[in-house]
Amino acid sequence: MTEQDTHFTQTDTHSTDTATDRVLEIRDAEVYFEMDRGVSRVLDTVDLDVERGEILGVVGESGSGKSMLASSMLDAVVDPGVLSGEITYYPEDGEPVDVLGLSERELKGLRWEEISMVFQGAMSSFNPTMGVREHFEETLAAHDADVEAGMDRARELLADLHLEPERVLDSYPHELSGGMQQRALIALSLILEPDVLVMDEPTAALDLLMQRSILALLEELQEKYDLTMVFITHDLPLVAELADRIAVMYAFELIELGPTEEILHHAAHPYTRALLNATPNLDAPLEEMRPIEGSAPDPVDVPAGCTYNPRCPLADETCVGDDPPFETVSGEHEVTCFHWQDAAEAVPFTAEAAHEERSASAAGEGQ
């Protein structure tokens, strides 16, 4: 990268004198598309901090706005989408960076070198006419990095991901299995030593065993390279094995946020609880899964008030008429629900209920 590329536009809204562990700060982030039938709002006033060194899981059904949130972090929303709000990146050394105020040249420096992204589906991310080695060398050259030193790092990263470096580098993408492609893509995303790695459904096309293998490798990479990770997925139990915190999205909004254990065992939003009941996992039989009734809203016609109210067993006139603010459940656990204190009774966890029922039955037989 040239010297000119390294000078990002600095934001005046925050001072480095303020003690913070944030690496990314998102405020009032909105994305909309103009359509013939109206305005499609696919990200709606999201506020979120990403803490340095954490693994943050962002979960929700397909079409909930997760991918738009990921793209917003890099100002990478595709045309004709319009992104507004504030995205601030806090480098470990230096002044805060106003991401949405960067020029195209400055954005090129931010992406890959500071914040890198792994998109869903490795095959669509690689150029099929180029060998894997060429992808690494081209990326290094495009950012004016030392190619020889960068390729040494590539080999180390590939080895960290339990791949044979020379075999992978000498291959074309289609010559690798799906799991190998995905791991090679993760290595490529880390080649320029970014602080933050954003992953959008990186394991969605893989079988369960490969998903778990990649999660274990990501945890090792995070510790070795002191990475901050944002992991986007529809699979809450899967990301719970990796994440320190979980952010839940519904209808293009952030609706619940908290430490992973809090979300898993004390989810306070009826949607989060329903999502846990609806997602298959190794600890609960398939017959205990409960699909969420109804369907996610159309981005052109999002319900007024709480966006979940048409599907929620607790919805009343307040939920239909008013937009719930964030309420503190405990500590860092927050939720947007007027009736969160009643959510556990209204939407019990099916696996827990079944476990209690089996325990009571066993106790009765023992008497």
In tens, the pLDDT along 316-327 reads: 999 999 999 999
Is residue 119 very low, low, confident or very high in pLDDT (cuts 50, 70, 90)? confident
The pLDDT of residue 362 is 46
**Between the CA of residue 18 and those of 95, 216, 272, what are the distances in Å?**
11, 35, 34
Helix (H) or strand (E) holding 330, with range, is strand 327-330
Whole-number mean pLDDT of the chain? 87
Q: With beta carbons less than 8 A apart as the criterion, state whether 218 and 138 touch.
A: no
**Which residues are within 8 A (CB) of 299 and not within 5 positions of it... i.e. 6 or more apart?**
40, 41, 42, 63, 252
**DSSP 8-state class, residue 130:** S
**Phi, psi for residue 188 in degrees, rounded to 5:** -60, -40
**Phi, psi for residue 56 in degrees, rounded to 5:** -105, 125
Could you tell me the residue ranges of all domains in the chain? 266-365
SS3 category, 251: coil
Taking Cα atoms as reference points, which of 74, 55, 58 lies closest to residue 66? 58
* pLDDT > 70: percent of the chain: 86
Spell out the alpha helix ranges (H) of 100-235.
Answer: 104-113, 122-125, 132-142, 147-160, 165-169, 178-189, 208-225
The token pair that represents 174 in the structure block:
């289609």
Q: With beta carbons less than 8 A apart as the criterion, state whether 32 and 39 touch.
A: yes
The token pair that represents 233 in the structure block:
């997925």
The pLDDT of residue 46 is 97
Alpha-carbon distance of 304 to 320, in angstroms, equals 6
The pLDDT of residue 283 is 57
In tens, the pLDDT along 231-279 reads: 999 888 888 989 999 999 999 999 999 999 999 999 999 999 999 988 7
With a cut of 60, say whether residue 191 has pLDDT above it: yes
Taking Cα atoms as reference points, which of 212, 208, 331, 352 lies closest to residue 273? 352
**Between the CA of residue 310 and those of 43, 57, 63, 124, 322, what are the distances in Å?**
19, 26, 17, 36, 14
The pLDDT of residue 12 is 39
Helix (H) or strand (E) holding 87, with range, is strand 82-89
Is residue 44 very low, low, confident or very high in pLDDT (cuts 50, 70, 90)? very high
The pLDDT of residue 221 is 95
In tens, the pLDDT along 136-170 reads: 999 999 999 999 999 999 999 999 999 999 999 99
Alpha-carbon distance of 347 to 247, in angstroms, equals 19
In tens, the pLDDT along 85-98 reads: 999 999 998 899 99
Is residue 17 very low, low, confident or very high in pLDDT (cuts 50, 70, 90)? very low
In tens, the pLDDT along 304-316 reads: 999 999 999 999 9
Selected residue with higher pLDDT from 288 and 10: 288
pTM beyond 0.75: the answer is yes
The pLDDT of residue 15 is 35
Strands 228-233 and 55-59: parallel
Q: With beta carbons less than 8 A apart as the criterion, state whether 59 and 267 touch.
A: no
SS3 category, 344: helix
Selected residue with higher pLDDT from 21 and 7: 21
